[in-house]
């Protein structure tokens, strides 16, 4: 009789376990997956967290028959994302915020995050912001503040820390940061940038021991503010090249302080991917690979990654196929990068020690 009772308990336990497993969302995963969408020299980066929540950073351009919104939504739905939980707009330029109205017409967006009012007030700039504000009307709106976090569920240690916004930067260093930066002594500042670029929302995304940074189009002097005299950001595994790899950003004093293992450049055929910025990344201590969304024609062969690391290597913009790059990170710090054009994946083991 006792055996029967224990057997019944086992049956019930397995039944409950099966019921629980069946109730898990199809997207539940053990990795942080990041998709760098090709929006032709703009930005649209889709994060799918282990909790199943999604975050999209920027939306690419408007127009082009909805090309960028279509690419984002196709990629999202292909990977089980039926809504964007957090849409982060780094700043109000057409290649970052322009596609918002087209996006929200195709997929639900639950929360909008931006840095607050724009500092640009031309007719075109005002129209761009008005279209964005109309698209987010009636939805929860978060004004990004350095030092605060975007409230995703921290499954497995996932976190999104805001480090810059509206021209301000974090006042306190991130954990395991605050090391002195010897490059500050010789760094040269440039003329102040009054544009929206300097007000970009910057994020440090972590998943366990994995760390990635995305500073939008943050420009030279504002980069200096977060790494000088001490580096308040620390080292990262993956650096999303600032400003599409334009020379107005990606200063050596910042990039070399970050010590990325991998850099990903969201450039276009004729936009971004400058020789100067590429060489700064290439010469960064500890760098293992540079991945690009496009071959940068003006930079020349010596300032582009090998073809295997370029999603769209064709030098003719008319031949663009919209291939994307995928990053998949584990909580132990190991990660991989995949070129969707070829299916080729490169793996990067967890760093042997704290970087």
Q: What is the pLDDT of residues 254-281, one digit of tens each?
A: 999 999 999 999 999 999 999 999 999 9
Of 63 and 19, the structure prediction assigns the larger pLDDT to 63
The number of beta carbons lying within 10 Å of the beta carbon of residue 314 is 14
Q: How much is the pLDDT for 157?
A: 83
Distances (CA, A) of 96 to 75, 125, 243, 343: 18, 12, 11, 27
Q: Where are the domains of the chain?
A: 27-348
Q: Identify whether 214 is preceded by a cis peptide bond (ω within 30 of 0).
A: no
Q: Identify whether 229 is preceded by a cis peptide bond (ω within 30 of 0).
A: yes
DSSP type of residue 48: E
1 pLDDT higher than 90: no
Q: Are 89 and 56 in contact (CB under 8 A)?
A: no
10 pLDDT higher than 50: no
At residue 142, φ and ψ (nearest 5 deg) are -110, 125
Distances (CA, A) of 339 to 203, 299, 347: 24, 21, 12
Rounded to an integer, what distance in angstroms lies between the CA atom of residue 139 and that of residue 327? 30
Q: What percent of the chain has pLDDT over 90?
A: 86
86 pLDDT higher than 70: yes
3-state secondary structure of 213: strand
Q: What percent of the chain has pLDDT over 70?
A: 91
Of 258 and 3, the structure prediction assigns the larger pLDDT to 258
CATH topology for the 27-348 domain: Metallo-beta-lactamase; Chain A (3.60.15)
Q: How much is the pLDDT for 269?
A: 95
Identify the weakest region by mean pLDDT among 27-36, 219-228, 233-242.
27-36
74 pLDDT higher than 50: yes
| Distance spanning both ends of the chain, measured CA to CA | 60
Q: What is the pLDDT of residues 102-117, one digit of tens each?
A: 999 999 999 999 999 9
Identify which of 144, 83, 92, 138 has the alpha carbon closest to the alpha carbon of residue 113: 144
DSSP per-residue codes, 141-181: EEE--TT-B-----GGGEEEEEEEETTEE-SSPPTT--EE-
What is the average pLDDT score of the chain? 91
Q: How much is the pLDDT for 352?
A: 65
Q: What is the pLDDT of residues 282-323, one digit of tens each?
A: 999 999 999 999 999 999 999 999 999 999 999 887 788 999
User: What is the average pLDDT across 10-32?
Assistant: 47
User: What is the average pLDDT across 344-353?
Assistant: 87
3-state secondary structure of 185: helix
Q: How much is the pLDDT for 29?
A: 61
User: What is the average pLDDT across 31-45?
Assistant: 97
Q: What is the pLDDT of residues 169-204, one digit of tens each?
A: 999 999 989 889 999 999 999 999 999 999 999 999
Q: How much is the pLDDT for 215?
A: 98
Q: How much is the pLDDT for 11?
A: 37
Radius of gyration of the chain measured on its C-alpha atoms? 21
At residue 162, φ and ψ (nearest 5 deg) are -85, 125
DSSP type of residue 312: E
What is the distance, to the nearest Å, from the Cα of residue 330 to the centroid of all Cα atoms in its chain? 16
Q: Are 227 and 253 in contact (CB under 8 A)?
A: yes
């Amino acid at each position: 009789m006792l055996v029967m009772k224990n057997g019944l308990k086992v049956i019930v336990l397995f039944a409950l376990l099966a019921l629980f497993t069946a109730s898990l969302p199809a997207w539940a995963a053990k990795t942080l997956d990041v998709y760098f969408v090709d929006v032709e020299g703009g930005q649209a980066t889709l994060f799918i967290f282990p909790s199943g929540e999604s975050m999209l950073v920027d939306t690419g351009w408007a127009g082009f028959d909805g090309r960028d919104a279509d690419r984002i939504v196709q990629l999202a739905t292909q990977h089980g994302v039926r809504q964007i939980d957090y849409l982060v707009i780094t700043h109000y330029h057409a290649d970052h915020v322009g596609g918002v109205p087209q996006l929200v017409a195709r997929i639900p967006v639950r929360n909008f995050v931006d840095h607050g009012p724009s500092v640009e007030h031309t007719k075109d700039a005002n129209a761009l912001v008005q279209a964005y504000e109309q698209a987010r009307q009636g939805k929860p709106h978060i004004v990004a503040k350095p030092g605060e976090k975007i409230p995703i569920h921290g499954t497995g240690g996932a976190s999104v820390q805001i480090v810059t916004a509206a021209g301000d930067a974090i006042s306190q260093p991130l954990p395991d940061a605050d090391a002195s930066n010897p490059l500050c002594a010789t760094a040269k500042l440039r003329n102040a940038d009054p544009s929206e670029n300097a007000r970009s929302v910057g994020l440090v995304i972590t998943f366990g021991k994995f760390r990635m940074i995305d500073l939008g189009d943050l420009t030279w002097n504002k980069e200096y503010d977060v790494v000088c005299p001490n580096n308040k950001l620390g080292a990262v595994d993956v650096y999303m090249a600032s400003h599409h790899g334009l020379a107005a950003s990606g200063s050596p004093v910042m990039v070399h302080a970050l010590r990325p293992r991998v850099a990903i450049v969201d450039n276009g055929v004729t936009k971004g991917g400058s020789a100067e910025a590429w060489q700064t990344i290439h010469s960064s201590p500890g760098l293992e690979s540079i991945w690009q969304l496009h071959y940068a024609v003006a930079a020349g062969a010596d300032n582009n990654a090998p073809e295997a690391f370029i999603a769209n290597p064709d030098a003719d913009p008319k031949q663009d196929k919209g291939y994307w790059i995928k990053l998949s990170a584990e909580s132990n710090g190991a990660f991989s990068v995949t070129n969707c054009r070829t299916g080729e994946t490169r793996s990067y083991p967890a760093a042997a020690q704290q970087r």
